[in-house]
Amino acid sequence: MAYGRREGLIRLLNEQTLLDLCDSTGTATSDDPAVIAILDEAIEQADREIDAHVAVVRPVPLDPVPEFISNLSDRMAVVHLFRRSPHAIVPEAWQKEQDNCRRVLENIAQGRISIGAASATDTADTDGCMAVSAPDPVFPADIWRRF
């Protein structure tokens, strides 16, 4: 399941700009299968990058997809579109946007930003065990045996 959507890309850039980034001939339309494939590939690249960071804290792919993650995917896909076109230069504003998205993803991976509660299927424990995390003991066990 893709996180980003073609409609999201159209909201961020106008349709003509998207067509210019996807087609160097200037004759393609938004219904052209080649254009759709390029847009889908840009979204897929963004989704893979998101999955790489989110997988540290949650099982991926995310289902349902939080709107926050969908928006990140759309914004990152725009930059991928600029980078795939040999004649296009990534505008500074979009480069900053990409940097911001990556900082957000790093914060998600470090647990500083939550993307919401995991779905019931993600948290269901099939073997009845509980995972516990604790810091290393201050005093080794053999010291306590003396008391």
Residue 62, judged by CB atoms within 10 A of its CB (0-12, 13-18, 19+), counts as buried
Question: Does residue 70 register a pLDDT over 80?
Answer: yes
Identify the band that residue 20 occupies on the pLDDT scale cut at 50, 70 and 90.
Answer: confident
Question: Does residue 124 register a pLDDT over 50?
Answer: no
Query: CA angle at residue 115 from 110 to 78, to 5 degrees?
Result: 90
pTM (2 decimals)?
0.76
Q: What pLDDT does 24 receive?
A: 73
Distances in Å between the Cα of 78 and the Cα atoms of 91, 130, 137 are: 11, 42, 49
